[in-house]
Amino acid sequence: MKFEFSTNSADRISADILLVFAYASKKKEEYEMVANTSFELIDKLLEGQLSKAAKIDLFKGKKGEIINLISFGSVVPSQVVLVGLGEKDKFNLNELRKIFGTISKKYKLKADSITLSIKDLIANFKEDEVYHAIVEGVELGNYTFHKYKKEEKKNKLQTFIIAETKENPSLQKIIAKAKAYSQATILARDLVNEQPTVATPSYLADLAMQIAESDTRIKCKIFEKKDCEKMGMEAFLGIARASATPPKFIYLQYTPKIKTKETIALVGKGITFDSGGINVKPGDAMKEMKMDMSGAAAVLGVFSIIGKIKPKVNVIGLIAATPNLIAGTSLVPGDVVKALNGKTIEILNTDAEGRVTMADSLSYAVKEGATQIIDFATLTGACMVALGEEYAGLFSNNEDLAKKVQNAAEIEGELVWPLPLADEYKEQNESSVADIANIPSSRYGGAITAALFLKEFVNDVPWVHLDIAGPAFAYKDTELSTKGGTGRGVRTALRLLEEVK
């Protein structure tokens, strides 16, 4: 999408659509629309047609309400679109992002260009963040995955023109950054939406190599099966045993210009398809399991643009990539594998495979000297039961880091909610034959016991675990996403990296 500026007022800009915004206010039981300056101005130019139409249509300025009007020459744009922002005191930048997602979705096939006066929107917020949210909303709402459709619908929408604003380098920078955030999110979406026979461990590894080739500050190493054997990643390789496609352990490294000892490790669960293994999933639960590499997709998304945001910290990305399949060579319940850090794991259910592969990737992060670890994993159905499809579960052994991640997530509108790393439940992961079992003895609190399992592999390194099983995949279209991969975690991680001073 192009974002252009014009010092003209919006009514004089040649665009298909002119956007006008209004808030809602609750008077007694009823809502009514609250006009702002641009509404009043355009209404005047349209000789009151806007307020009249709003009345007929009973437009009340509620969040996401949209009405369309033909302008019949009273303003240059051929249509005026009135958009409700909801109640003013409930309005925030995350709502703004979603509103622009909705607009972009609604008109992507119908209009070439849209213009708006941004002044009313900026009033209560930081200008940078208003632009950031708008650009992300537009870019993310514009996303489709139609690679496998016979007829590819081409998006028509090309340009947003910001009225009454002079172009300047700092605005251009903000827009470029928001575009990069969106592009990284979209890469993650594409990876999740790709069919699992294509998006294999090798596919992810090749992409990681390409990312490294495009930027001298990024290095990539791919550990093949035999390398992983040598290192002692028996846990990861155990899960990979049933697969005909070779496993890959992906290591990405970004080095900043300034020297620092701080290293943030981003670890992504990389199960390219989760059949459940010998404990096979029922069909309904397996349908979407190409999404079980959403954590890996987030890490790759981040690295794809990390050179543009240039964080002042070393960053490593780690992905143990393999599908979890069924074969004569599969792990079976009762098997024991030894992780890279020497801890043995009794496999009691092959469908709890994510934590087993991550035992090795988290151990590797510790071994590499990471000073902070953030992991992204579609780890448990239990987290979805607890928090639904929008919120990621957040677990941490370090309050300070947890706050930073929560803050980054909040700014980017990627909802997270803290859940306890409850020591009280630790004994549920005990095994009678190994150091730990891969499923707990109780079926309650499954997101917590899974997080407690991971905790055994991060030692005392400050760590945040995000269980993104719910929000990584949308089961229906939403304001900012289409059905499928959402790219969850990418923007939280980018914000977090950018905030490192």
* Cα–Cα distances in angstroms (integers) from residue 137 to residues 115, 169, 461, in the given order: 15, 21, 35
469 binds ligand BES (CB under 6 A): yes
Binding mask 267-286 for ligand BES (x = CB under 6 A): -------x------------
Closer by beta carbon to ligand BES, 161 or else 356: 356
* Site size toward ligand BES, by CB under 6 A: 15
Query: Residue 413 is inside which H or E element, if any?
Result: none
Q: Which residue is nearest to ligand BES (CB)?
A: 381
Buried b (16+ CB within 10 A) or exposed e, 103-114: bbbbbbeebebb
Member of 16, 136, 190, 292 binding ligand BES (CB under 6 A) = 292
Window 425 to 454, contacts with ligand BES (CB under 6 A):
439, 446
The distance of closest approach from Cβ of residue 381 to ligand BES in the complex, given in angstroms and rounded to an integer, is 3
292 binds Zn ion (CB under 5 A): yes
Note the residue count of the chain: 501
| CA nearest to 379, candidates 281, 285, 295, 474 | 295
Closer by beta carbon to ligand BES, 289 or else 318: 289
Number of Cβ within 10 Å of residue 53's Cβ equals 17
Which listed range, 141-149, 244-252, 259-267, 350-358, lies at the site for ligand BES (CB under 6 A)?
350-358
Q: Which residue in 105, 179, 189, 355 is the catalytic one?
A: 355
**Could you please report the per-residue DSSP string of 182-207?**
HHHHHHHHHHHHS-TTTS-HHHHHHH
* Cα–Cα distances in angstroms (integers) from residue 40 to residues 47, 59, 400, in the given order: 10, 15, 47
**DSSP conformational letter for 418:** E
190 binds ligand BES (CB under 6 A): no
Window 358 to 417, contacts with ligand BES (CB under 6 A):
378-382
Question: How big is the chain by its Cα radius of gyration, in Å?
Answer: 25
Closer by beta carbon to ligand BES, 139 or else 353: 353
333 binds ligand BES (CB under 6 A): no
Closer by beta carbon to ligand BES, 61 or else 276: 276
| CA nearest to 455, candidates 368, 341, 346 | 341
Residue 426 appears among annotated catalytic residues: no
Would you give the distance in Å from CA 23 to the centre of its chain? 29
Closer by beta carbon to Zn ion, 69 or else 298: 298
The distance of closest approach from Cβ of residue 400 to ligand BES in the complex, given in angstroms and rounded to an integer, is 29
Tokens of 102: 């909705």
Binning the chain into helix, strand and coil, the percentages to the nearest 5 are 40, 20, 40
Q: Of ligand BES, Zn ion, none, which one does residue 439 interact with (CB within 5 to 8 Å by kind)? A: ligand BES
Closer by beta carbon to ligand BES, 103 or else 384: 384
The distance of closest approach from Cβ of residue 440 to ligand BES in the complex, given in angstroms and rounded to an integer, is 7
**Surface-to-core class of residue 221, CB atoms within 10 Å of its CB (0-12 exposed, 13-18 middle, 19+ buried):** middle
346 binds ligand BES (CB under 6 A): no
Instruction: Give the integer Cα–Cα distance in Å for 376 and 380.
Output: 12
43 binds Zn ion (CB under 5 A): no
Query: Residue 362 is inside which H or E element, if any?
Result: helix 354-367
Number of Cβ within 10 Å of residue 43's Cβ equals 20
Q: Of ligand BES, Zn ion, none, which one does residue 382 interact with (CB within 5 to 8 Å by kind)? A: ligand BES
Residue 281 appears among annotated catalytic residues: yes
Which listed range, 87-95, 114-122, 223-231, 346-354, lies at the site for ligand BES (CB under 6 A)?
346-354
Closer by beta carbon to ligand BES, 292 or else 375: 292
Residues near ligand BES, by CB under 6 A: 274, 292, 349, 351-354, 378-382, 439, 446, 469
Residues near Zn ion, by CB under 5 A: 271, 274, 292, 351, 353-354
List residues with catalytic annotation: 281, 355
